[in-house]
Amino acid sequence: MAEELKGMKVAFLATDMVEESELTGPWQALRDAGADVELVSVEPGEIQMARHHDKSGTVRVDRLVTGVSGADYDALVLPGGVANPDALRTSPDAVRFVRDFFDQGKPVGAICHAPWMLVEAGVVSGRTLTSWPSLATDLRNAGASRIDREVVVDDLLVTSRWPDDIPAFARQLIEVLSRWRRETLAGRPLPGRAHRGQGLPGQGLPGWRLVELDRLHDH
């Protein structure tokens, strides 16, 4: 598995009070699979992580969101925590960065409260995803369908609900990133649209409309 994502570059977008396990768990899993990972944030220096509502450790920021775009990375991961995405969604540069990945047809993972960023970026209409339960009304009002599953894949979007889902979330991210790269290298058509209704029907990868973790390997 160590070479599965070798050569791929993945951005993690986060700020203060990001849920520690939702940052470090997927981060380590993608690194173990060979990906290069970078922490992108809105301010330089370090960000404060949290364990639920309590401060934990800090982590160094690699790049500022004002100086990067989706073209710099192969994929994006959005960890949760309540305060983290709530702050990020007030940053036009952070919202633009998230939207870049949907415009360019690249994989995105979001866990817990992170789908708030997807709502702010205007990319959830017509999609099926999961999240922390309290986001259900926000997602519905934005045109999405929320289901209660540990991990949901809709095209290239991978979502999960909370820290207990991290192992499944990380495994699914690795599978989606690996498959996206294979399809890209094979020159097959990719979604490449920010919103449902844009582009031609069936532009997504075969079998990717809605795939649960336990069904993915059947395709």
Active site residues: 112
> Coil, strand or helix: which one is 5?
coil
Amino acid identity for residue 44 in this structure: P
- If we measure between CA atoms, which residue out of 52, 53, 1, 63 comes closest to residue 29? 1
Please list, residue by residue across 168-194, b when 16 or more beta carbons sit within 10 angstroms of its beta carbon and e when fewer do.
bbbbbbbbbbbbbbebeeeeeebbebb
- C-alpha span between 148 and 160 (Å, rounded): 9
Residue 93 CB partners (closer than 8 Å, separation 6+): 42, 65, 66
- DSSP collapsed to 3 states, 59-72: EECCEEHHHCCHHH
CA separation (Å) from 70 to 107, 147, 213? Answer: 11, 28, 26
Q: Burial level of 54, CB count in 10 A (0-12/13-18/19+)?
A: exposed
